[in-house]
Chains A and B, each alone.
Chain A
Amino acid sequence: MDLSPIIISFQTAIMAIFFTFFSGTLIAYLVFRQKNQGLKMLLNSLFTLPLVLPPTVFGFFLLDIFGVQQPIGKFLLDFFSVKVVFSWVATVIAAVAVSFPLMYRSAIAAFEQIDPDLLAAAQTLGFSERKIFFKIAFPLAINGLLAGGVLAFARGLGEFGATTMLAGNIAGKTRTLPLAIYSAVAAGDWSLAQQYVTIIVLICLLILFLTELFSRKSRRIQG
């Protein structure tokens, strides 16, 4: 069995969760603290959109941005000699794009679970907004954030649609586990597909078990 899809999948998912966790948490917090309810609803819909859109739509948008014929893609190629499309970086970008809304929704939910009086008290006590985030909101939401992070990691690991479009399916380079399963089935290698399927099911099961563990912990702290 070729192990490279497992390695590529993990490298991609780990790199992706790094971006997703921090950007998702931060953006969720900014939206959470937004006082203007109309703007809050608009931003909420916007950042959740990737959750309901087919990943191929994302693949389309990403190609539209990073394709070598497009301004940004061309700029990256001309000045940095970086070709995003059909590279490992593309698998990361695709994974970030599709896992972001999961992180974002989990983070918003985690922040909303904090007793609003605690944040208001911090304000009246003179805490700066930065201090409220780092000393109060983040530590109190940490279990919910971790649960969201694990979920987003799993989603990144299982990404297929946007990855195929932006990164292609190049063995040893951009072929992640889901793509390897697809290829194995397409090539008629049923037993290889079975092995990959078993691996990914076990990994995802473990991840969901961890999520459950974190959310139980967070419920205990809130209660």
Chain B
Amino acid sequence: MKLFVDIQKKLRDHQLSATFELEATTLGILGASGCGKSMLLKCIAGIETPDSGKIQLGDRVLFDQEKGIDLPPQQRKVGLLFQQYALFPHFTVFKNLSSVTKDQSLIAALLGMFHLENVKNSYPRQLSGGQKQRVALARMLASQPELLLLDEPFSALDTSLKEELQLELQNNLADFKGNVLIVSHSLDELYRLCPQLLIMTEAGVIKGQTTELFKQPQTEAAARLTGCKNIFPVKRIDAHTVQVKGWATPLIVTANVPITCRYIGIRAHDLLVNGAEGNQLDVHFVSSQQTPFEQNAWFVCNDLDLWWKGSKQIEMSTVKRFSVSPDAIMILT
């Protein structure tokens, strides 16, 4: 079922504006905090009203400001999973589901599918974070929605649970026929769960294949949101060469450099220590920082900060030179 969204809404400090269309997929939504990701979901669900625009699901118009259509949430058949799950605290797990549907076989099937039979008489406050999430998902599916919206589904959970629950969620939603929208600020989560990605920036939204957008985020703002730290303003020299301001040698790039190119991005993982091939960068070590399974290091290359990330095996303070493959350089506007 096709979802069409084209809405504008004035928020406290900026304008939320999103236009996209999608069919039978899981779409991840990435954006800076406070950019209106949750608001976008609430507008689609009908809890908030956009200032203008249109929302259509299949052949049903959910919202059309020009025609004065604004279906109440009850009639939209859109399921929304809240950040804190919003389970009814005074109902047991069973009652949370049975208040939504009278279909006893559906309730039984959902309790089974989400492994909730043994807690069906418990109250939400007695459940673990993972169980609460499963109850919320089961309750949402009990209302038989045609579209699922998940607002930061893992933010209320412990880190140790997250990866396991991400796999679980993927399996549980595999049977769902409609579109799923997932808002998250975790790049890992979005990369794993969502074949399609929508990046919300000040300048508008960018939508595409998740793997593609991580390889080629298109704009400077999108590159930052996908976690790229090394972004430099450049001058285009020719179709395969750019010059970073202040650097001695130009960089060779595999991708075609359009006239509109204003920045390049290099992912911290793509800087190779002492590699012989590709563009060579002379650097000065500043500091390094250990993370559990990797290390981060901060260098300076002709007055510009350069971030490196990689194996803990390498002694970073002795590194004087990086190489960057021409196809690892992202062309940004």
Contact = CB atoms under 8 A, between A and B. Distances in A.
A117 to B, nearest CB: 4
Contact of A120 (B49, B86, B100): B86
Interface residues of A, number: 18
Contacts of B86: 115, 117-118, 120-121
Summarize A's interface: helix, strand, loop or mixed.
Answer: helix
Given A124-B47, A125-B143, A221 B80 contact: no
Contacts of B45: 120, 124
Given A117-B82, A135-B99, A124 B88 contact: no
A140 B89 contact: yes
Contacts, number: 59
A120 B73 contact: yes
A128 interface: yes
A123 B76 CA distance: 10
Contacts of A125: 79, 99-100, 139-140, 142-143
Given A123-B72, A123-B73, A125-B140, A139 B80 contact: no
**Residue from A117, A120, A121, A127 having most chain B Cβ neighbours under 10 A:** A121
Given A136-B88, A139-B90, A140-B90, A124 B100 contact: no
A124 B89 contact: no
Contacts of A118: 86, 88-89
Nearest to A131: B99
Contacts of A221: 89
A121 B82 contact: yes
B112 to A, nearest CB: 20
Nearest to B97: A125
B266 to A, nearest CB: 41
Interface in B67-89: 72-74, 76, 78-80, 82-84, 86, 88-89
Contact of A124 (B49, B78, B84, B90): B78
26 contacts: A117-B83, A117-B84, A118-B88, A118-B89, A120-B80, A120-B86, A121-B80, A121-B82, A121-B88, A123-B72, A124-B45, A124-B46, A124-B47, A124-B73, A124-B80, A124-B143, A125-B79, A125-B99, A125-B100, A125-B139, A125-B140, A126-B100, A127-B74, A127-B100, A128-B74, A221-B89
Closest 7 CB pairs of A and B: A123-B73, A121-B86, A117-B86, A120-B47, A125-B143, A124-B80, A124-B73
